[in-house]
Amino acid sequence: MNMALPVGQQSKVVRDPDWWRGAVIYQIYPRSYQDSNADGIGDLAGIIHRLPYVASLGVDAIWISPFFTSPMLDFGYDVSDYRDIDPMFGTLGDFDALVTRAHELGIRIMIDLVLSHTSDQHNWFAESRASHDNPRANWYVWADAKPDGTPPTNWLSIFGGSAWQWDSERQQYYLHNFLASQPDLNFHEPKVQDALLDVARFWLERGVDGFRLDTINFYFHDAQLRDNPPLAPEDRNATIAPEVNPYNFQNHKYDKNQPENLVFLERFRALMEEYQDIAAVGEIGDAQYGLELMGQYTEGTKRMHMCYSFDFLAPTPVTGNRAAKILQDFTQIAAESWSCWAFSNHDVMRHASRWNLSEPAIRLHLALILALRGSVCLYQGEELGLTEAYVAYEDLQDPYGKQFWPRYKGRDGCRTPMPWTTDSPNAGFSEVKPWLPVAMEHLPYAVTAQEANEASVLNFYRTMVAFRGMRKALSKGLLTMLDASDEVLAFTRTLDGEAPIFCAFNFSETAQTVQLPGGDWAEIKGLGFTSERQGATITLPPFQAFFAEN
């Protein structure tokens, strides 16, 4: 059957407490989206300027990476003031205008809250380090040195080296799971929890529709400060720099993933329930216990709405078998959970390069992720088919890349500026030299070049997002696996009151066949895929998908 596919959103955000379930969320890394004031750095006014473009993608919400006041040693993930906007991004007035305009266009706004740690330039830390008995002395994780002067535990930092930093002023070590300039807050202190809930309330009062909670499983540490056990080499895996970082040598049993976290998540959810239509997605940074934690953190209706899955952010390419196993494991381990799937984000190599995808394969992978049960995060530029950019060492900004160069080149390659035009300075991102160079290889993928081409990757993204939005069985229904091999994946999506949808994918470079289940299936046409059908047998050319409804 043929169908017309609308592009874009409803005119305004409408009431829907279940909007997040199956939503398509577009991640914006504000430094690299649009510069409005010619300083080489993207800002909130730039995002406002580009909101009509975002609306044209048909997405339900925007997740904006941190824009709070910060010394920017980790580019906003080191917050020095939770209640204000860093001047490089604008003002609170700009943020209010952004929320208002987004809501007019039918787009919800989710902000990235970094609660596990602050910048060492935060006033809280300045007071905490000043003495052992001030009102905030216990707001961060402090511990005495061992008798020989070494750190209290063997815990490691994700950015390399010990997770403990000696502070000469307080004469103790403080915990930092990331940079030494990012001290961890002490969630065992009730006043810390109260202060962070007040931060969330501040932004809820300004009209945000939800939160992406950074490193949600890092909130609590083991109060007994026990050493982590080693991790067997065969069990080591990670999405970021697994081959260079000794962080992956440990089983992180005590420096994160603590059971006390569940109580705080319930407090956070209770706060959100005081407001209408609010949702949160938690980022679980754990290569060993991710699915188990997802199940715990989203169980029932008193914790997180959904958790951000790392399964498809790994270097391992997607095959039918791998996708089926991820879905099967998720169903078995986190049966009552709701996942938020992603292929790319600001921390990993863009998936077009990570999996060495051709343009047909990029289209196939989008069709897959939009057909999965769960919500979906798309990362800016993904809709253009952008590859990982080359960034020379002298242009490198990421502290992680500088630490492990040249074996690991950091995260700047996925953070380069958005290419808007082919005929403007810096691809229309900025009138001056950007904070990271515009990738010359990205210019042919610019928005203006793709807008004019009906068959472009950009327009394909719009078509597929609209398709998902028109079929509630895709966004909210059950998934039943029918066939899985390295080459092929096939399943159905079903929802009471909706037509069942059959979905099939060929991940190989050769033609493959799949069988339709019993019933009168009509192909859904107009999506840009090709196939041949003989009765119940569907022949899929390389990197093609097939959709039908009954």
Catalytic residues: 214, 274
Report how far apart the first and last C-alpha atoms of the chain are (Å, whole number): 11
Q: How far apart are CA 94 and CA 244, in angstroms?
A: 41
Tokens of 115: 């609660």
Instruction: Please state the φ and ψ torsions of residue 497, each to the nearest 5 degrees.
Output: 85, -5
Cis bond upstream, residue 419 (ω within 30) = no
Q: How far apart are CA 271 and CA 315, in angstroms?
A: 37
Nearest of 272, 269, 294 to residue 284 by alpha carbon: 294
For tokens 């078998």, the residue is 321
Q: How far apart are CA 288 and CA 217, in angstroms?
A: 12
The burial class, CB within 10 Å (0-12 / 13-18 / 19+), for 194 is exposed
Nearest of 187, 184, 203, 159 to residue 404 by alpha carbon: 159
Q: CB–CB of 295/336 below 8 Å?
A: yes
146 secondary structure, DSSP code: P
Q: How far apart are CA 75 and CA 60, in angstroms?
A: 26
User: Where do the DSSP E strands lie in 99-143?
Assistant: 108-113, 142-143
What's the distance, CA 185 to chain centroid? 23
Nearest of 470, 468, 457, 477 to residue 528 by alpha carbon: 457
443 secondary structure, DSSP code: G
Instruction: Please state the φ and ψ torsions of residue 95, each to the nearest 5 degrees.
Output: -65, -45
Amino acid occupying residue 81: D
What's the distance, CA 487 to chain centroid? 27
Q: How far apart are CA 66 and CA 78, in angstroms?
A: 9
Q: How far apart are CA 235 and CA 249, in angstroms?
A: 9
Q: CB–CB of 387/419 below 8 Å?
A: no
Element (H, E) at 468: helix 457-470
Q: How many residues does the chain have?
A: 550
Q: CB–CB of 112/212 below 8 Å?
A: yes
SS3 of the chain: helix, strand, coil, percent, to 5: 30, 20, 55
Q: How far lies 220's CA from each of 161, 187, 217, 337, 495, in Å?
A: 20, 6, 7, 22, 39
